Structure 1
Amino acid sequence: MPEKGFPGEDHRLMHFFPRSPHAEWNGSDFIVNLTYRKDGVMIENELKNYGKADVRGSRWIQIYARRPLREVYYLGIDKCVPIIESEKKE
């Protein structure tokens, strides 16, 4: 999530792990190793666990408002697909 007034994109886990009848992602989790600066202090190797807490269905956890503020851009294969290919999907 970018700081207010700075460029970047605000991504949510549901954008990368979409729900479907075959994949609810319940009980899934992964760990992210973060390095960043906060108030001039370097924070290194901070481990954050992200996932769906409940096997029966729940929201993704970590709370989005508590993410480190940073300029983020997603570069995925869907950004590289020729226009003709993306038109076929619609």
Structure 2
Amino acid sequence: MEMIMNGVVLLLGIAKGCLNRLTLQEWGYLLGVAFTLLRGLLIWYDNRTEQRRRTAIFERYAGELAQRGVRQAWNKLRRLEAKPPASDRAKK
């Protein structure tokens, strides 16, 4: 635990030493980088949410079409089974 605390204190000391020497322009650059990263993360999250929503809509639509297609095929088979063969119809 002491080793972890020493590492944290060392990193904070290095960060403080580096950040104290920054000019106003460098602070502005770092702030811009931070906002750009935040904006990128928010856009990524929004796109992921939208893609999941569209995928759910597509899956629901495809499921409905598949069920409808199975029902239509089943009904067509029943109609074909109910009809007499073509050779019997030609004789009549």
Q: Which has the larger radius of gyration?
A: 2
Q: TM-score range by the shorter chain?
A: under 0.3
* TM-score w.r.t. length of structure 1: 0.23
Which structure's residues are more often strand, by fraction? 1
